[in-house]
Structure 1
Amino acid sequence: MDLAPRESAEEQDPAARALGELLEVLDVCIADLERARSRGRELLERRRTGTPWLDIVTAESRPLVVEQVSTVMAALATAGGAWRREQAHALQSEQVSINRIAALYGVTRQRISALLRERARSVA
């Protein structure tokens, strides 16, 4: 009897794993953006009352709205890039041509080739 834990389909499928990780990052980013939006509305209200920008920014607690947005953008770029690379590899593994993948992604075939090379380097 084999008592070793079996990997889930997601654990066996790097593209599914990358998508799951992207979804987790999206959840965090959505929460971060909601906080940034709320804070931004507070800042805008202060500005509408005539408060100078310097006073608004120096009174703002960390992370600043601009920092929150930058953090979200970086997280999405990282997780989105990993998903894009794994999905391109998965499509290629299903015998989808680079030209077709490029058309699906709306990029050049050279960009897909670069994604596949990046993926190969990251798993090596």
Structure 2
Amino acid sequence: MAQPPDDAAVEALNALVDQLMRTRAELGQAVERAHELVALRNSGHTWVEIVRAEQRPLIIERISQALDDLGVAGSRFRREEALALAREDVSITDISKMFGVSRQRVSTLVQEQAVPPA
């Protein structure tokens, strides 16, 4: 069966894939930076020297932002997927079992309006 061209769940999934790729790149850079920080510390620099010399955003800020952005994209896909399943007449109970969450959570998901992509 062909998918409708305006399938919001597919759009949300594509946005999630894009965000996953950005997150992977961000986290890869964070790994490299973490190794640099360890090397600086092991070479005798104090933490105050290291942190003061580090350019903004700090490593932890970059990681937090990357994970926040991924969470937004993941939530959007979950919501759109739940809505798509509901449109296909899958019960709230069955969706909750598929997602491993409560029926109340699924009910909230299908009642929320989809958030436009960032």
TM-score past 0.5 threshold:
yes
Judged with a 3 Å threshold, the aligned counterparts in structure 2 of structure 1 residues 75 and 19 are, in CA distance, closer, same or farther, namely same
| Partner secondary structure for residue 95 of structure 1 | coil
**Could you tell me whether the CA contact under 8 Å between 1:86 and 1:119 is conserved in 2?**
no
Aligned residues: 114
Q: Which runs of 4+ in 1 moved over 3 A?
A: none
> What one-letter code is carried by the residue in structure 2 that aligns with 1:106?
G
Which protein is richer in helix relative to its size?
Answer: 1
Shift of 1:110: 0.3
Which stretches in structure 1 are left out of the alignment for 5+ residues? 1-8
Q: Which amino acid aligns with 1:55?
A: E
Letter in 1 for 2:52: T
Q: CA RMSD in A?
A: 1.7
Q: TM-score, normalised by structure 1?
A: 0.84
Contact 1:11 / 1:17 at 8 angstroms: preserved in 2? Answer: no
1:34 matched to 2:28? The reply is: yes
Aligned residues with identical type, % of pairs: 41
**Distance in 2 (alpha carbons) for counterparts of 1:19 and 1:10:** 14
Residue by residue, what CA displacement relative to the aligned partner does 1:72-107 show, whole Å, maximum 9, x if unpaired?
111111111110000000111111111111111111
1:53 to 38, 47, 58: 47
Structure number with greater CO (CA < 8 Å, separation at least 6) is 2
State the match for 2:7 in structure 1.
13
Computing the radius of gyration from Cα coordinates, the structure with the larger value is 1
